[in-house]
Structure 1
C-alpha cells in the first residue's frame, strides 16, 4: 500500500504547475544545446489552426512538412525519421516564422508565404508540379489539366493529381487551388472539408 501511495505522490508532484514549468525549461535547454551542437536534423512543433492541429517540421534548409491531424502526426514523424533523419526534436522556436505566417494566412493578413522550403520529400515530376503551384494566385483556382499545361506536359493530368495528393507542404504550397476540369474539388490530403474551408477563406478575402 505504501508503494502505491508513493507512486501516487510522485505522479501528483509531476502534475503540479511548478514541475510542468521545470520540465518545459529543461526541454528548452535540451533544445538549445542540441541545436547549438548541430544534433537536430529535423525540428518540429504543432500549432492550432481553424483546420485543427497542424504538425510543422523543418530542416536547416527550410520547412519540409505540414501535416493535418488526420494524417496521424506520430506516423508522419516516423516517416520523417526514416526518409530524412532519426535526429528529430520538438523545437518550437525553429518553427516560429512558419507558425506566424500560417496564423497570418488563416486570419487573412497574408496571401503569400515567404518561408524557405525544403522539397527533399518530393522528386521528379511531382516536385516540378509542386514548385509551380504557388504560381496560382491567392483566391484563384486552376484545373489539373491547366496545371499540366503550366508545367509543359499537357497529357500528364493524372500525374498532376498525384503530385497534388502527395504534396508534403499543404496550405503553404497551395494544392487546394487545383480542381477537376468540371469544377468539382477532387481529392485533398487534409480531406474535402479542409479544402473547402481554404477555398472559402481565400474567396472571402
Structure 2
C-alpha cells in the first residue's frame, strides 16, 4: 500500500483538464469542474482546460498541443471511454503514448466495481506517458472522475507517495522513486 511521507516535499505539477463531450459546455461540465477543483485543492496548478467533441482528431490535436508544453506535466481526460460509436478517447490517445500505464485501467475498474458492479467492464479507462507528460483518461461522470482522482491519480501525482509515484518521471529534478527511505542508504529503485 502506498504511503505519504511528510518529510518529503510536495512538488506542484502543471496540469490540464480535457472534457470530451458532444453535448457539454463549461456551464454544465461537472466532471471538468470536479477534476479542476480536486487538482487545485491538492496543490497543483490548472494550466489549461478545454472541451472537445467526441472526435479522434480533435482530441489528438489538443493533447498533442499540450504534451509539448513545458508547463504541463499531467493531463486529465474525462469522457469518451465507453462503447458507443462516438466513444473514441482510447483510440485517440493510445497512438500518442510512448508508454501505456496498463495498471491504471485495471485498478480503475477494480475500484469502480464496488460502486457499479460488473458494468465497470464497459469502462475503457486508459493512461500513458507522451513526451514525459502523464495522461489519465476516465469516464465522463463526476462519480467516475472522483473514483479515478481520489483512488489512483492523486497519490501518483504526489512526490511524497512511497514507495513510488510518477512525479520523478515528469520532473527529474524531483528525485527518484525508491522502495525504502532509510538513513543514508538508498533503497532499490523501482
Normalising by structure 1, report the TM-score. 0.25
Which protein is bigger by CA-based radius of gyration? 1
Report which of the two has the higher share of helix: 1
Normalising by structure 2, report the TM-score. 0.26
Which structure is higher in RCO with an 8 Å CA cutoff and minimum separation 6? 2
